[in-house]
Structure 1
Amino acid sequence: MEYIPIIVLVLSFVGLLAIGMPVAWSIAISSVLTMLASIPALPAFTTISQRMGTGLDSFSLLAIPFFVLSGQLMNKGGIAHRLIAFAKSLVGSLPGGLALINVIGAMLMGAIAGSAMASASAMGSILGPEMEKEGYSKEFGAAVNITSSTTGLIIPPSNVLIVYSLASGGVSIAALFLAGYIPGILTGLFLMIVAMFWAKKKKYKLGERSSIKQVFKTFIDAVPSLFLLVIVIGGIITGVFTATEASAIAVLYTLVLGFAYKEISLKSLPEILLDSSATTAIVMLLIGASMSMSWVMSYENIPQNISSLLLGISDNKIIVLLIINLLLLFVGIFMDITPAVLIFTPIFLPVVTKLGMDPIQFGIIIVLNLCVGLCTPPVGSVLFVGVGVAKTTIQKVIKPLIPLFLAMIFAMFLVTYFPQLTLWLPKLFGL
């Protein structure tokens, strides 16, 4: 009897997704059906409605619409061009130089904008045509752009890490932000290594070496954009302001920067605000529905049952973490990252904490896992953006994507089994 709620939840959720129901509605309806297996209809509907509302009643969540808006302002404000120019001066002469520029540019853009899709759109539209002119295949360029864009979800500021903080019961956002730097940079480095080998194999031509003067000039041009990281992360770590307050400051700073670069005008603001509102509405609906499902799972003791099941298979930390990673990789294929974090954090966090893992480390692991899912069909949002910008097809991009996937998964396993990679910086700053 104790496994009936799990069966109802899983079957209804998978069934609704299979018939094409949007993810948010699939989560909400399957939550209601699971409650109906235990209590009468009226209390079930009332409870789910209340939990969707109270799930959004969090001061920390205010950071999400602000960071979404700052990301839109950056995407339209000419910041991407300056970051790409800086990256080109650093690595443009190396094998696969334009691919390396894409990775570094995406890491910088993602870190500033906190959005994988914004990064994929900006990098792909700017670098894609240039890579084709230099003889790179369209599919290889798209594959590099798609995978590198996800690094911005690990390197702070990251909306997904804020969502994880909420789902985990209040893990420090500042600590999560610091913990994301080394894994994010490590993932980027592995992607660059794969890109270099691929470029050598395909014999793509080398770019011109930049002089120290050019490097310095592009760096100076990029400094105002990069300074946002100092303001946001520095302010949070030193306690000058919270992550939510930092997101509002990011909006103000990027707005001023956009006007200073003359890339944003008063006429373009309504469109930017509308796009940001639409993105925020989608994210918030997903969060509300996912929080209701998390409550249902807690009410039905589903996390405890799954925890007992996993620990019953083995009490070996390496084996259990391997199983969790494989499950999360599978989940990421079929579910978007925000609801997946909200739903599976309460399930797996009790298991890993029993094994002695720090919740901060697990937050980075779950995000790294689900980033792979953003690049895979059938629901990989970053995959669709990258393919659309490159004007190619998913089938053609799969081959160059596979070695890049392996690089991302290798980085994820390193982070899983070497806690120092995530915990060193937070401990250094006393978080």
Structure 2
Amino acid sequence: SPNIVDQNPVCIALLKHIKPLSPIEQIHKVQKPFGWKASIAAADSISLLIMRTHLFALCLSMATIGIPKANGVMDDYDAEMGEFMNALPNLDDTPYGLGQRSDISTEPEEDDILASLDDEYEEAKHCVWNTCDKDLSESRGIGKFLDLPFIKKIASNLNPFGSKKLRMHFYLFKREFPECGREVDFSIERKWRHCGFNASLPTRLMIHGWMSQSRGSFNRDVKNAYLKKGEYNVIVVDWSASSANINYFSVVKLIETFGAELAQFIRNLNRQFGADFDSMYLIGHSLGAQIAGSAGKRLKPVKVNTIFALDPAGPKFRHRGTEFRIDPSDAKYVESMHTSANFGFRRPTGSATFYPNYGAYQHSCYYLGCSHIRSYQMFAESINSPLGFWGTPCIRDNGRWQCDYSQRQSIQMAGEPSIHKEGIFYVKTSSSDPFALGKQ
């Protein structure tokens, strides 16, 4: 409905900043004299048209979230969103989205800015992770529906003629700077020498999944849980420039590439800082779990201590051999948690594999993807839970469960540090946060 677009503040702001060209204008731009220059111009115009069309479709989909009430009067929530969007600067003039520089960024201007901030970099004063984190977790307005830098990544991946950024970024968090990550880049000496990594502390690396944001809830919740627990090197592995692609199957093809890059980064932690492989855990969600497995394979014969595979991605992996998916041999200990039959992997994938509520779906999950994200919500909770998640050993035979109730709730799922065990386990959880029930 045109009214949805005309009255929705998100669409108004998007159309204001995107400035899409009409199909007639695009066709007019393409009609140049024949020749190779004309072909290039046509390709560029078609590329822009495709990208802007996708963004316009995204605008329409978001508009349905905030349809005005029937009486035509916007409530306080809509008014707040409209005021926020109208205050946004033009995206063409602000390379960092909201006019502030974020350390979680893949913008080309990053190195130029950092070059003039050596002293500030040592104290991490330039970073505004905490501001972005607050925007995403607490905002009642645009933060819940629209993260502009992330949408720019989606738009970039929608452009078939655009350049692809096959690069990971690594951000270190510690108790001294819990909200302000420092980039660890071994190609630039000052970015790793002064980052504050402490080889005497245990290291936890988190790898997000498909269509996840570097500032999203997986990284935020797990990072905060570890830093509440104690002293750690917590490293956020950001590959969102490539994972922010609605074509899941294209992203799957990049898993081995990013697995190799992660493995090289882990080797550099050992070579440059003297970090012990046995002190390292990889925590991967969805496709991030498959990247963790790929990295583990490439590190052999060396192995990290533990991989936590949180509902490892199933589509395009279910029929692959173990050499192309997460496997118990990818670390000294691999623990998997399966919470979603649709997005996740159904068969056991770890030395120990846990199936909360039998793993097909989770209680009180009524929207697509809820069961999938429940895995990292439970994991983050397990790190500091006084009750814990407790599993019962079981055997799965042709889809049927046979559990040994003489050992009922005898094996702990997740937690910190990892406790090595083997087998398949059923775990009963609560339907709402906190999910841990302890031993009952």
**TM-score, structure 1 length as denominator?**
0.25
**TM-score, structure 2 length as denominator?**
0.25
In our comparison, the structure showing a higher alpha carbon Rg is 2
- Give the number of the structure whose residues are more often helix, by fraction: 1
Q: Looking at both structures, which has the greater relative contact order when contacts are Cα pairs under 8 Å and sequence separation is at least 6?
A: 1
- Give the number of the structure whose residues are more often strand, by fraction: 2
